[in-house]
Amino acid sequence: MRIGITGHTNLTSASESLVYEAIRVVLGGHADINGVTCLAKGADQIFAQAVLDSGGQLTVVLPSLNYREAKVKPANLARFDDLLSRADVVYMPFDEAGRTAYMAASEELVSRSELLVAVWDGKPAGGYGGTADVVEHARTLGLPVHIVWPEGAEREAG
């Protein structure tokens, strides 16, 4: 089963374990999981870890050739590199990271998925290519979307 992820990058640290457990419940209903992720901080990386912990495989769709250098913060680099090293990696044909590259990567992720998990509070996207845009794109294509927003989950202010 190919399951994609979209979700918020700014989850509070207290929300991470709630989201992890909710994703594990969703994954528990499927066998032979191939998780498809863009591996952004937050929901994507929590999902990636849950897939690996379930014995599944990962496919990472990176938005640009410079994504790691341009967008992964030093505090998140070790986790990003560890998850990336355990995945099949696809690079989108963009030299630079940015909103257009993010949405293109998400569209590629959706095209590779049979189900989309969305760690989403239901609010509009904060910019082009945000969680709400990806959910809308998936729904337009008729892809099933499973919303995950456990009670007590919150996003960081700002």
CATH 1.10.150.20 describes domain 2-148: no
Residue with tokens 């904060």: 126
- Average the pLDDT over 131-150 and give the result: 97
Q: What is the pLDDT of residues 95-118, one digit of tens each?
A: 999 999 999 999 999 999 999 999
CA 1 to the chain's CA centroid: 16
- Whole-prediction pTM value? 0.96
Q: Where are the domains of the chain?
A: 2-148
The answer to whether 146 touches 18, Cβ cutoff 8 Å, is no
Q: What is the pLDDT of residues 17-39, one digit of tens each?
A: 999 999 999 999 898 999 999 99
The answer to whether 133 touches 125, Cβ cutoff 8 Å, is yes
The helix (run of H) or strand (run of E) holding residue 116 is strand 115-119
pLDDT of residue 158 exceeding 70, the answer is: no
The answer to whether 58 touches 83, Cβ cutoff 8 Å, is yes
Report the pLDDT value the prediction gives residue 87, as an integer from 0 to 100: 98
Residue 144 DSSP SS3: coil
